[in-house]
Structure 1
Amino acid sequence: MAGQQLAPYKADFLKSAIDGGVLKFGSFELKSKRISPYFFNAGDFYRADLLQAISFAYAKAVIEARESGTLGEFDIVFGPAYKGIPLATATTDKLAQLDPKTYGQICYSFDRKEAKDHGEGGNIVGAPLKGKRVLIVDDVITAGTAKREAIAKIQKEGGVVAGIVVALDRMEKLPHPEGDDSNKPMPSALGELKKEYGIPIFAILTLDDIIEGMKGLASEEDIRRTEEYRAKYKATD
């Protein structure tokens, strides 16, 4: 593999995503109306071996971020409904397996799309968030809207957001008000969230990682098209 090699857990995660059809190459229209040569759907990690692969990758990314000082301490892993729910629960379990001394008592929570008005009621399922440091686990950051909603819910419950970890950073600039043909530099949604909230936000894989890791796993044509897409839409941060 040319250039800087991926960490083994990242390379294994990327291979699992490609082999399992979670990361697909072709032509995909995004919400932004851009035509992307690749598409990542964390909802496709529904098979046991794939769930093990993604939960291990999330847990390793979190542990590395803690060890490097990128991420501080946290009490609860939070998964925004719906895709974030299995990601948060599986990551909590894997963290406890990999480092029971540090994470053996870590908790998880997730939200409901609509508040429950009977039984225990409320918007949150799992550990109460009040007074706790909360790590958000989700699949990708597109426009950042869903993450802002999750942050608002956590803060409303009295929690403090410690950071956000996602599976993929597309490194893609936000659409320009004048249209993508303006060729003006624009930040990414991830970069904007970092500035807005002042919290650590990191990903298991970036688009750069995918392009590097595709070598030997995808066709030359898919690699070329993905590189061209990066050149056209890469954000300033």
Structure 2
Amino acid sequence: MINWKKEFIKFSLEKKVLQFGNFNLKSGRKSPYFFNSGLFCTGKDIFKLGKFYAHAIIESKIKCNILYGLAYKGIPIVTSTSFSLNQYYNINLPFCFNRKKIKKYGEGGTLIGHELKKNIIIIDDVITVGTAIKSAMKHIQQKSKIVISAIIVALDRQEIGNKTYSAVKEIEDEYGCKVISIINMQDLINYLSEKKDMKYNLDKLYNYRLRYGINKTE
């Protein structure tokens, strides 16, 4: 695991964004760990988070014209990512994010920020079975001449989706785009395996992966 992945896990643990326990997920699954990006809630936190996303975009070498954040947690992330790309890589990308409900007055519509055009990168925090991302796709596909270059999340839980293979593969096959993550479950397992005091949580992660995790060969 390269150092910036370890740094991100350490950062997430320090801010209690990454927690261990018993959690009910939106997918209905019961998980021994949970990632709540909403706890990156200070200027310093969100500034640092944006640097990780910007790094992931640069490392992926994927080109795009606009960043699209998914409401609600993707809103501060996409803002900070755009800032970090400009600050550290001299790349000035516009961004936008969606509304949960259509605005029927003023400028109206379902988007705030730059209009969607050409190649876009979708930004969110976590992918489990891909429900939020698939919902966003329905809106995006209504726009003509829009190409989704990639989807970037902080954590890919590397779980089986609604079919018999991974949620990431489902999305990549259906929408023809790449899904990129700062870290995934295997990165987390690798990190915990180096920490003697984390063995209890590590054992729970292994058991969870046996039930819901993808095949390592995928």
Identify if the C-alpha distance between structure 1 residues 136 and 205 changes in structure 2 by more than 3 Å, giving closer, same or farther.
same
Residue 181 of structure 2 aligns to a residue whose secondary structure is strand
Distance in structure 2 (CA, Å) of the matches to 1:145 and 1:26: 23
Corresponding residue for 2:170?
192
1:230 to 205, 209, 217: 209
Number of positions where the alignment pairs a residue of Structure 1 with one of Structure 2: 214
Distance in structure 1 (CA, Å) of the matches to 2:69 and 2:56: 16
Distance in structure 2 (CA, Å) of the matches to 1:49 and 1:11: 19
Distance in structure 2 (CA, Å) of the matches to 1:90 and 1:51: 6
Bigger Cα displacement from structure 2, 42-51 vs 148-157:
148-157
- 1:79 and 2:69 matched: yes
What letter corresponds to residue 168 of structure 1 in structure 2?
A: L
- 1:219 and 2:195 matched: no
User: How far apart are residue 218 of structure 1 and its match?
Assistant: 5.3
What letter corresponds to residue 86 of structure 2 in structure 1?
A: A
User: How far apart are residue 208 of structure 1 and its match?
Assistant: 0.4
Corresponding residue for 1:146?
132
Give CA deviations for 1:155-188 in whole Å, capped at 9, x if unaligned. Answer: 3233321110011111111367xxxxxxxxx212
After superposition, the CA RMSD in angstroms is: 1.7
What letter corresponds to residue 84 of structure 1 in structure 2?
A: G
User: How far apart are residue 123 of structure 1 and its match?
Assistant: 1.0
1:125 to 112, 123, 132: 112
Give CA deviations for 1:28-74 in whole Å, capped at 9, x if unaligned. Answer: 122333321111111111123321332111111111001xxxx3x10
2:143 to 129, 139, 157: 157
Q: Could you tell me which runs of 5 or more consecutive residues in structure 2 were left unpaired when the two chains were aligned.
A: none
Percent of pairs with identical residues: 38
Corresponding residue for 1:180?
none
Distance in structure 2 (CA, Å) of the matches to 1:20 and 1:51: 11
2:17 to 2, 22, 31: 22
Distance in structure 2 (CA, Å) of the matches to 1:175 and 1:128: 31
- 1:173 and 2:154 matched: no
Residue 156 of structure 1 aligns to a residue whose secondary structure is coil
Aligned counterparts, 1:31-110, within 5 A:
31-66=26-61, 71=62, 73-100=63-90, 103=91, 105-110=92-97
Q: Could you tell me which runs of 5 or more consecutive residues in structure 1 were left unpaired when the two chains were aligned.
A: 1-5, 177-185
